[in-house]
Chains A and B, each alone.
Chain A
Amino acid sequence: MDKVKIGIPRGIYYYYYGNFWKYFFKKCNMELVYSPSTTKEIVEMGSHLAPDEMCLSMKIYLGHIAYLQDKCDYILIPRIDRFDKENQTCTNFLALYDISKHYFKTPILNYNIDSQHDFLDGILNMKELKLSRVQCILAYEYAMKKEKEMKSRRENLQQQILNSSGKKVLIVSHAYNIHDDFIGSSIVKILKENHIQILYSDYFDEKKTNLLSKELSQDLYWKYSRDSIGSIPLCKEVDGIIFLSTFPCGLDSLVHELVIRKMEKPYLNLVIDDMSASTGLETRLESFVDLIEQN
Chain B
Amino acid sequence: MKECYLGIDIGSISTKAVIINKSYQILSSCYIETKGNPIVAVKEALQLVSIPPEYQLRGIGTTGSARKLIGLLLNANVVKNEITAHAVGTLTYHPDVKTILEIGGQDSKVICIRNRMIHDYAMNTLCAAGTGSFLSSQAKRLGVDVKDFGNIALKSTNPTNIAARCTVFAESDLVHKAQIGYPKEDIIAGLCKSVVLNYLNNVCKGKRLESPIIFQGGVSKNVGVHKYFEEILKEKVLVDDNGHLMGALGVAILSSKVPNPRNYTLDFQNIEFKTIGEECKGCSNRCELVRIYRDRELLDTWGSKCGKY
Contact = CB atoms under 8 A, between A and B. Distances in A.
Interface of A: 47-48, 51-52, 273-276, 278-280
Contacts, number: 31
Contacts of A275: 161, 163, 165, 169, 173
12 contacts: A51-B205, A52-B125, A52-B201, A52-B205, A274-B163, A274-B165, A276-B169, A276-B172, A278-B176, A279-B163, A279-B172, A279-B176
Interface in B175-202: 176, 201-202
A273 B173 CA distance: 12
B166 interface: yes
A47 B172 CA distance: 21
Interface of B: 125-126, 161, 163, 165-166, 169, 172-173, 176, 201-202, 205
Secondary structure class of chain A's binding surface, majority of residues: loop
A47 B194 CA distance: 14
B292 to A, nearest CB: 37
A117 to B, nearest CB: 33
Contacts of B172: 276, 279-280
Nearest to A48: B201
A279 B166 CA distance: 14
A273 B169 CA distance: 9
B165 A273 contact: yes
B231 to A, nearest CB: 16
Given A52-B125, A274-B165, 12 more contacts: A47-B201, A48-B201, A52-B126, A52-B201, A52-B202, A273-B163, A273-B169, A275-B163, A275-B173, A276-B169, A278-B176, A279-B172
Nearest to B197: A44
B176 A280 contact: yes
B201 A279 contact: no
A280 B202 CA distance: 24
B173 A279 contact: yes
A184 B119 CA distance: 43
Contacts of A47: 201
Nearest to A276: B169
Contacts of B169: 273, 275-276, 279
B164 to A, nearest CB: 9
B117 to A, nearest CB: 27
A139 B291 CA distance: 76
9 closest Cβ pairs, A-B complex = A275-B163, A279-B176, A276-B169, A279-B173, A279-B172, A274-B165, A276-B163, A52-B202, A280-B172
